[in-house]
Amino acid sequence: MGVWTTGSYNGSRFRIEPSPEADSAFDSLSGKRPKKDLARIVARIERFANTGKLHAPGQINDEGDGFFAIKDVSGQLRAYCWYDETERGVVIISHFIVKKKDDLDPRDKAKMIQVRNIRRQSKRK
């Protein structure tokens, strides 16, 4: 991810691993969102990695099928995530998005499923 030079963030509870899609989505948001918004979502992700907790629904949403969204202060900038099925203590960020409403867009769910399937296939090799 643009802000995590190592490609992942190792918190005391979870390791956060952005997918390549998350990297590119975050980088594209860098020119479109204020830096403070990006810093806030990164801080929230890091807090989740360190504590394992966020307050629902203002900070985190269960999106079903094992997916969840970490939200910035405004609730518009979101990181869609899931717990890795093969490595305990690893959270994968599928992608970032700016949302106008609370409902999960079917295209975002399809993207999460696609990224998760790509990751599953790469782990089998």
For 45-90, the pLDDT digits (tens) are: 999 999 999 988 889 999 999 999 999 988 889 999 999 999 999 9
Question: What pLDDT, on the 0 to 100 scale, is given for residue 2?
Answer: 43
Domain ranges in the chain are 9-124
What percent of the chain has a predicted confidence (pLDDT) above 90? 62
Position 122, amino acid: S
The CATH number given to 9-124 is 3.30.2310.20
Q: What angle do CA 48, 25, 10 make, to 5 degrees?
A: 30
Chain mean pLDDT for the chain:
89
Q: How far apart are CA 53 and CA 107, in angstroms?
A: 27
pLDDT digits (tens, 9 = 90+) for 90-103: 999 999 999 887 78
